[in-house]
């Protein structure tokens, strides 16, 4: 079987379930070694088994992304062990509350900003030198359609995703003269725990599985993918 990502190392955040888990499996199937970051130890251990069954190494990082000093230490560890990072899938995110803006709980707001926006800035800050050290570094951040539609009651989540898009697209432009390619992916409604929380009355059987999204993620993190500074909508690719 072809291994287009052979010899590459990819960091996946939110890797213990959903899109992150499925993407990590698919990336390993394509030949990449995986650095898997998530809060849930059990899910990480299951992923470790799945990745190793595909013949790749899996380094587990059980960490909450709000521990920003830990992100800095992670960058130092990756540099010491590999001296580069070929791929970053910034998948971890938090839904928060679907509620009118005036009713938002301040603590929930602060955590949303920390997880969905600040943590991604800290990942960029820590990992940028490592991504540039790769001969074909690829960074992919997951966004949402509500960043543009700004639906009623979704204000906090929409604000953090809109902020993420602004941050990532500025970063992409800064990297244009390098080999690093930086993009965003909107997977759309997917059969995940986050979607079930947001839309409890929805029929999940009508939604794509995370494994349906994974091949596009592999493509966008591959050396052959030459686009940068793009927001790709999964629904427009199928």
Annotated active-site positions, please?
157
What are the C-alpha distances in Å from 117 to residues 107, 139, 155, 212, 222?
Answer: 15, 15, 14, 26, 25
8 A C-beta contact, residue 156 and residue 97: yes
Tokens of 58: 């899996």
- DSSP strand pairing (138-142 vs 181-186): parallel
What are the C-alpha distances in Å from 145 to residues 103, 178, 185, 224, 231?
Answer: 22, 29, 10, 26, 10
8 A C-beta contact, residue 220 and residue 138: yes
Distance separating alpha carbons of residues 155 and 37, to the nearest angstrom: 27
8 A C-beta contact, residue 192 and residue 22: no
């Amino acid at each position: 079987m072809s291994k287009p990502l052979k010899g590459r190392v990819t960091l996946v955040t939110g890797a213990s379930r959903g899109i992150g888990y499925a993407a990590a499996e698919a990336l390993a199937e394509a030949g990449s070694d995986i650095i898997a970051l998530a809060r849930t130890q059990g899910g990480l251990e299951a992923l470790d088994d799945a990745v190793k069954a595909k013949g790749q190494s899996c380094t587990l990082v059980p960490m909450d992304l709000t521990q920003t000093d830990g992100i800095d230490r992670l960058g130092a560890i990756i540099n010491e062990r590999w001296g580069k990072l070929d791929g970053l899938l910034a998948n971890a995110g938090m839904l928060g509350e679907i509620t009118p803006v005036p009713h938002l709980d301040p603590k929930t707001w602060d955590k949303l900003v920390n997880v969905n926006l600040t943590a991604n800035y800290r990942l960029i800050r820590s990992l940028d030198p490592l991504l540039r050290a790769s001969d074909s570094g690829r960074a992919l951040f997951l966004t949402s359609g509500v960043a543009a539609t700004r639906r009623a009651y979704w204000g906090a989540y929409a604000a953090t995703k809109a902020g993420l898009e602004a941050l990532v697209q500025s970063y992409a432009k800064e990297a244009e003269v390098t080999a690093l390619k930086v993009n965003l992916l909107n997977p759309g409604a997917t059969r995940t725990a986050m979607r079930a929380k947001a839309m409890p009355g929805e029929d999940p059987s009508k939604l794509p599985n995370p494994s349906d999204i994974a091949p596009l993620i592999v493509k966008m993190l591959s050396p052959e993918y030459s686009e940068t500074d793009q927001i790709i909508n999964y629904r427009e690719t199928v």
